Amino acid sequence: MNIKFDKVERVYFIGIGGIGMSALARYFAKQGKKVCGYDRTQTPLTLELESEGIDIHYEDDIVLIPRDFRNNIEGTLVVYTPAVPKDHSELEFFEIKRFTIVKRAEALGVIASAKKTLAVAGTHGKTTTSTLLAHLLTTSKVGCDAFLGGISKNFSSNLVINPKGSENLVVEADEFDRSFLSLFPELAIITSVDADHLDIYETHDDVLLAYEAFASQIKHGGILIIKHGIGLTPLLSVSVKVYTYALRDKADYYLTSIEIKDGYYHFNLVTPTGTINGLKLGVPGLYNVENAVAASVAALQQGVTEDELREGLSSFSGVVRRFDVRYRGNKVVYIDDYAHHPEELKAAITSVKEMFPGRRVSGIFQPHLFTRTRDFTKEFAQSLDLLDKVYLLDIYPAREEPIPGITSNSILKLMECPDKKIYSKEELLNQIKLDDIDIIVSMGAGDIDKLVPAIVKILTDRKL
């Protein structure tokens, strides 16, 4: 669809509270467009958007759509997320009236087409990697704009607009609903290609085919940065340069001398042209160190200097809900993480155990989606078995209807960890008031984040 944004006066978002949708809403508002929208649930993010002057309502009701949006087909663009059901009455209204309607990915694709796009894809790691890349470019002379899949602590936003203007655009390339196929980047990073979103892709092979198609859309003369050994064989133009990266394995770029000092990782980066010594990452988590390798490769390829890289890595504050240390007391440490895939849980728990060797690690997990729970029941059980104690919450359904026989108990009964139990949210908070807590981590992509302030308060009140 040929969208001419210069002709757009109003943008209406159906599902405006999503992390990708809210970034687009902020972008159009900064471009001087009138922006409003609907979301099912009020959240801290939608409240932020409202404080920025964006009108949002939380009932699926055509009457609540502002009149100038309802009555003006010309100049009005409607953007929706694929997570919205097809029988959504507001979406149906705009369809019947023949408004210009696009998916989020299409709108992002049009914006990206006018920029030098640096796209970060992967079933895990893409949010931290893209946010770190945006930080590295912004703190250097290179600069960028960015659409991020999380709230950057450095920018306090999921949108970065360079006040001086920039041709570079960092975007998180989302594989859900094959959204990333709307992008044609000059540079792409692929961090991982594990099976996920099997409600969209029938098999892991279908996931791989989608990533190969994404990689094949890199422009001539462009760059692919791909994790060493992930088994992807994209059909690339001979004019596309390919660089591999790894944490410790020999690749085009990899790390040596990795060590923890004062709670932070220090390391050296081996490159095809030499070694950059004395690097330090400003956030914890070994898997974040691996993400930092990918972001560093991209930054160096864009002209960031060694000194700028060193400063940017050390000043990176991370992403909200990505290995996010929320409480550090006399004894207790509480970390919150967005992990919602078995491999992400494994990476988060392993990183916690490496940071705090010999400590007792408890974990709270809220499964996300019935289909994902069904597809990875055994794998979830195996990852959670790495914990010393497991607090399991009910499945967060998001866009899905229940699947008979698929519950959190499906995971629980396969676990070998002896200290495990399913709790309601209220029961969980009451239990944390009583338990002997050492290290605790909460994980999930649903509404578990709403419990975080209450958990912090309990730990603070207990002076642990």
Of 174-183, 241-250, 350-359, which gets the smallest average pLDDT? 174-183
Vertex 121 angle, CA 351 and 147, to 5°:
100
Confidence band for 197, pLDDT divided at 50, 70 and 90: low
Query: Distance (Å, rounded) from C-alpha 412 to C-alpha 102?
Result: 41
Higher pLDDT, 197 or 109: 109
DSSP state of 200: T
User: pLDDT tens across 222-240, in order?
Assistant: 999 999 998 777 667 668 9
DSSP state of 18: S
Nearest to 426 by CA among 395, 389, 451: 451
Average pLDDT over the chain, rounded to an integer = 94
Residues 101/95, Cβ–Cβ less than 8 Å: yes
Query: Distance (Å, rounded) from C-alpha 310 to C-alpha 350?
Result: 26
Residues 362/388, Cβ–Cβ less than 8 Å: yes
Query: Distance (Å, rounded) from C-alpha 215 to C-alpha 223?
Result: 10
Instruction: Please state the separation of Cα 421 from the chain's center in Å.
Output: 28
Confidence band for 2, pLDDT divided at 50, 70 and 90: low
Query: Distance (Å, rounded) from C-alpha 258 to C-alpha 285?
Result: 12
How far is the first Cα of the chain from the last one, in angstroms, to the nearest whole number? 57
The residues pairing with 57 across neighbouring beta strands, listed in sequence order, are 38
Residues 365/409, Cβ–Cβ less than 8 Å: no
Give the H/E segment covering residue 13. Answer: strand 10-14
Confidence band for 199, pLDDT divided at 50, 70 and 90: low
CA 11 → CA 277, 289, 340, distances in Å? Answer: 48, 38, 31
Report the sign of the C-alpha dihedral through residues 30, 31, 34, 36, in that order. Answer: negative
**pLDDT higher than threshold 80 for residue 306:** yes
For residue 434, count other CB atoms closer than 10 A to its CB. Answer: 9
Where do the DSSP E strands lie in 1-81? 10-14, 34-38, 55-57, 76-80
User: pLDDT tens across 258-283, in order?
Assistant: 999 888 999 999 999 999 999 999 99
Sketch out the chain's domains with CATH numbers. 8-101 (3.40.50.720), 115-314 (3.40.1190.10), 324-462 (3.90.190.20)
Residues 241/223, Cβ–Cβ less than 8 Å: yes
Residues 363/411, Cβ–Cβ less than 8 Å: no
User: pLDDT tens across 389-415, in order?
Assistant: 999 999 999 878 999 999 999 999 999
User: pLDDT tens across 155-182, in order?
Assistant: 999 999 999 889 999 999 988 878 899 9
Query: Distance (Å, rounded) from C-alpha 96 to C-alpha 107?
Result: 21
Tokens 């139990």 -> residue: 421
**pLDDT higher than threshold 60 for residue 1:** no
How is 416-452 classified by DSSP, letter by letter?
--SSEEE--HHHHHHHHHHS--SEEEEE-SSSGGGGH
Please provide residue 147's backbone torsions phi and psi, each rounded to the nearest 5 degrees.
-110, 115
For residue 97, count other CB atoms closer than 10 A to its CB. Answer: 13
Instruction: Please state the separation of Cα 318 from the chain's center in Å.
Output: 12
CA 120 → CA 26, 129, 251, 302, distances in Å? Answer: 21, 7, 19, 14
Report the sign of the C-alpha dihedral through residues 424, 426, 427, 433, in that order. Answer: positive
DSSP state of 396: B
Q: CB-based burial of residue 12 (10 Å sphere; 0-12 exposed, 13-18 middle, 19+ buried)?
A: buried
| Amino acid in position 220 | H
**pLDDT higher than threshold 80 for residue 196:** no
Query: Distance (Å, rounded) from C-alpha 13 to C-alpha 35?
Result: 8
